[in-house]
Chains A and B, each alone.
Chain A
């Protein structure tokens, strides 16, 4: 189903055969909208997107996400899936739910309450609405970003999430290519989640330093070309799993954070570090606690 600007979805599907540069698997809890907004800011930094374009994209995507938060599951908890593509002078953002789905011929008031839909239509270069297999809706927004750099298309579909400390409620993010996205997205991601884990501003900032250290060297230890990050939070506790890393990649990441005279930054700031072997790959688990 298509609304707004004329479109050819099937062509776009083949055109979008590459996996997204970023994929977020979240729940439809309202606080996850901030996570999506901050991830978009991270992408903008990676591709040199100007503030006005970022603002437009964030506004439109916020409306689409709010719709999933408020209406997709009729008050129940469910998935909020976001894919971001930044290739070929275009930034596309798909926002997907697995909820009640779009009723054909629904009026826009039923569809996205208030000004959501007109805002998306006004800000996006192109908007399509698709029904997702098995129910639910996907809003596909395309934004022209002529001045921005383009990211490499990720290669193939990556394997599942690393088996680490992850619970079902974990926030899951896949990024590819690892450079430059790990450097710009990881700190924003951990910053938001540390805040949500009731960390003090001191400890939130430590989380940023750990994320910086991981992001700076991740591409060297992740030759698979993509990185999956899963984060579980509880009050004053944040657990992060990062993989797939090459054999020995976990240790390499930790020792790569060494500053002569200060020690290993990641080790100094985190409460627990471990490397798990997952088939031919490694997964680094990092735990941060706020002990104040």
Chain B
């Protein structure tokens, strides 16, 4: 280790040109010049910061993420071999990402932070409901983005993600109008009797009978009564997103059943 006494003129640290970077690495690696290292850290910290931002959607505090990314940057500075002729950033990015992945793994997280994604999806779902309650109709994506103060692209991706989430449990408590929590199961049980009567008028066909009563009820509300999904959501006591998912899933099942029936004939 060279001593920190290796004083260099400060203007030599101006970290803007590639040549400077090579020189700084030389000074750090060969002479262990801490000022050269500091200059390198200053120059490449924006890179670490931008990589940390990538994971910001997770519920980890950003400062923690930045610290992990900085640690990765320091490791990359130590290990980088300028003689190989590659730019430092192409070495640093995988090193920093690797450090962040290891951190998430060690703290029991998946690398792709599904929890963050799911939290975002839940926020979008809840915002959709609050908006619909307040305004009496469903919001647009732009209105949701404004409401949540996020980019509309993020809302679009959250909406698509919700379609795939089986994790948003059917029995997750739903906020009732007066603050009472009502589960999906309770809500359906409550409404079911009425719809059993409707179904007695023999319009229900063999295929429809083969899916659960609650799905049948929602399909009927949308396609026979022509209610909007938000109206259905309010009646059934689930989110509109849930209605959307249930409609898609049951129509998918019906398609499969119809095909089977056709094949059997």
Interface stretch among A196-204, A224-232, A270-278?
A196-204
In the bound complex, residues from chain B placing their C-beta under 8 Å from that of A114 are 46, 50
Residue of A nearest to B255 (CB): A216
In this assembly, does B152 line the interface, its C-beta being within 8 Å of a C-beta of chain A? yes
In this assembly, does B112 line the interface, its C-beta being within 8 Å of a C-beta of chain A? yes
Q: Enumerate 10 A-B pairs (CB-CB under 8 Å) in ascending A order.
A: A31-B152, A115-B93, A122-B97, A191-B156, A195-B156, A202-B240, A205-B247, A208-B248, A209-B247, A259-B208
In the complex, are the beta carbons of B90 and A118 less than 8 A apart? Answer: yes
What is the minimal beta-carbon distance from A30 to any residue of chain B, in angstroms? 8
In the complex, are the beta carbons of B153 and A31 less than 8 A apart? Answer: yes
- The count of residues in chain A whose C-beta lies closer than 8 Å to any C-beta of chain B is 48
Q: Is the interface of A mostly helix, strand, loop or mixed?
A: helix
Residue of A nearest to B98 (CB): A122
Q: How would residues 1 to 30 of chain A score, 1 for a CB under 8 Å from any chain B CB and 0 otherwise? A: 000100000000000000000000000000
In the complex, are the beta carbons of A263 and B223 less than 8 A apart? Answer: yes
Choose from A34, A196, A202, A206 the contact partner of B157 (Cβ within 8 Å): A34
Give the top 4 A-B pairs by smallest Cβ distance, nearest first: A200-B138, A205-B244, A260-B205, A195-B141
Interface stretch among B33-41, B176-184, B224-232?
B224-232
In this assembly, does B160 line the interface, its C-beta being within 8 Å of a C-beta of chain A? yes
In the bound complex, residues from chain B placing their C-beta under 8 Å from that of A118 are 47, 87, 89-90, 92-93
* B46, B206, B254 interface centre (most CB from chain A within 10 Å): B254
| A52 to B105 Cα, complex, angstroms | 13
Residue of A nearest to B256 (CB): A216
Choose from B90, B163, B205, B240 the contact partner of A208 (Cβ within 8 Å): B163
In the bound complex, residues from chain A placing their C-beta under 8 Å from that of B133 are none
In the complex, are the beta carbons of B90 and A33 less than 8 A apart? Answer: no
Given A122-B97, A262-B208, decide whether A209 and B140 contact each other with a Cβ distance below 8 A.
no
In the complex, are the beta carbons of A191 and B159 less than 8 A apart? Answer: yes
In the complex, are the beta carbons of B219 and A37 less than 8 A apart? Answer: no
* B50, B140, B203, B244 interface centre (most CB from chain A within 10 Å): B140
Q: How would residues 182 to 210 of chain B score, 1 for a CB under 8 Å from any chain A CB and 0 otherwise? A: 00000000000000000000011111100
| A202 to B247 Cα, complex, angstroms | 12
Q: How would residues 137 to 171 of chain B score, 1 for a CB under 8 Å from any chain A CB and 0 otherwise? A: 11111101000000011011101100100000000
